[in-house]
Amino acid sequence: MLTLSQAINRALRHGLESDPKVLVMGQDVGRSGGVFRVTDGLQKDFGADRVVDTPLAEAGIVGTAIGLAMRGYRPVCEIQFDGFVYPAFNQITSQLAKLHARSGGRITVPVVVRIPVSGGIGAVEHHSESNEAYFAHTAGLRVMVAATPQDGHWMLRQAIESDDPVIFFEPKCRYWSKGEVAETADDPLVLPAEVARTVRPGTDVTLLTWGSMVETCLAAAAAADGEGRSLEVVDLRSLSPIDTDALVAAVARTGRAVVVHEAPTFGGLGSEVAAMLSERCFTSLESPVLRVGGFNVPYPAARLEGHYRPDLDRVLDAVDRVLAW
């Protein structure tokens, strides 16, 4: 059993051991092991030239990583908190995402940008964002979200080995959650990063979710059992590309869907999922696809985040509505 943070640390260690061109870089990732201790021990074992403590300059971190990738390296950047990624937004969306296309395929930029994401830890302002929609909207980026130690380890390994730039989200409220992690890549539990995973089968309503909300949806499904309702939970895992065939198949089985994410519903990725399902499952749907998400306000102070983040009751309310339609 490993925690999510330990599983990610093991994946980074594997990358550093397997390929001398892999680098880990970011604020405090070296000597202190990162603010969440995800990179603990890596600089001691691989040296300060492989695990690099950078200045507090996110645009510089990503910009340097892009240059390194163009020279054959495979940098893994850590953005200390989700709300700190915005100074690097231009480097990510204007350069990292576009260099491969702009060069006619001649240049690859195998950069991984790790971002601790979402709330649930009572953090201060700028430390609890759910900003996946910005990056999923940007062509040229792969966007992955690891909700479990299993995915934290194996999806990050796949991200490091990918020649595409990857935004790798890690729900910070799940860093201390424990789970089994497969030992070898040929274990049937190891899925390709772009494949959605049915976490729990069900027959009445499909809950489509990712990241911090996977656990919330599982709790809602367990509570619904007591009311004689069977809820399926599907973890998207990849937000760009989305495994649309898996989502369509899941919703076709139940005829009803609720998309759950922590980001605001307005302009959130749940809108794209709902629109896609409405187009491709029109004859299968028994009711409209509903969305449960955060409110369209700046992320609130810690004492109010419990009111902002979707919880079991809000998910079950949406389930009641799609079943009553």
Q: Is the bond leading into 241 cis (omega within 30 degrees of zero)?
A: yes
* Distance between CA atoms of residues 264 and 291, nearest Å: 10
- pLDDT for 325: 85
CB 143 within 8 A of CB 238: yes
CA 220 from centroid of its chain's CA atoms: 21
Q: For the chain, which residues make up each domain, given as ranges? A: 2-179, 197-324
The one-character DSSP state at 271 is H
Partners of 292 in the β-ladder: 260
Which of the four CATH numbers 3.40.980.20, 3.40.1010.10, 3.40.50.970, 3.20.20.60 does domain 2-179 have?
Answer: 3.40.50.970
- pLDDT for 163: 97
- pLDDT for 133: 97
Name the nearest CA neighbour of 155 among 164, 146, 163.
Answer: 146
- pLDDT for 124: 85
CA 69 from centroid of its chain's CA atoms: 22
Instruction: Give 267-300 pLDDT, tens digit per residue.
Output: 999 999 999 999 999 999 999 999 999 999 999 9
Q: What share of the chain is helix, strand, coil (3-state, %, to 5)?
A: 40, 20, 40
Partners of 200 in the β-ladder: 233
- The answer for residues whose C-beta is within 8 angstroms of residue 207's C-beta and 6 or more apart is 217, 220, 221, 231, 232, 233, 234, 257, 258, 260, 315, 319
Instruction: Give 8-60 pLDDT, tens digit per residue.
Output: 999 999 999 999 999 999 999 999 999 999 999 999 999 999 999 999 999 99
**H or E stretch at 133:** helix 132-136
Give phi and psi for 226, each to the nearest 5: -70, -15
The pTM of this model reads: 0.96
Which of the four CATH numbers 3.20.20.70, 3.30.365.10, 3.40.50.620, 3.40.50.920 does domain 197-324 have?
Answer: 3.40.50.920
Name the nearest CA neighbour of 172 among 25, 38, 321.
Answer: 38
Cβ count near 10 (within 10 Å):
17
Topology alike, domains 2-179 and 197-324: yes
CB 123 within 8 A of CB 171: no
Q: Is the bond leading into 20 cis (omega within 30 degrees of zero)?
A: no
- pLDDT for 183: 93
- pLDDT for 302: 87
- pLDDT for 125: 85
With H, G, I as helix, E, B as strand and everything else as coil, classify residue 121. coil
Burial of 188 (0-12, 13-18, 19+ CB in 10 A): exposed
CB 119 within 8 A of CB 299: yes
Instruction: Tell me which residues of the chain have a pLDDT lower than 50.
Output: none
- pLDDT for 122: 86
CB 207 within 8 A of CB 221: yes
- pLDDT for 297: 93
* Distance between CA atoms of residues 206 and 234, nearest Å: 7
Cα end-to-end span (Å), the chain: 42
* Distance between CA atoms of residues 228 and 78, nearest Å: 44
Give catalytic residues, as residue numbers: 127
Name the nearest CA neighbour of 233 among 224, 149, 320, 152.
Answer: 224
CB 151 within 8 A of CB 182: no
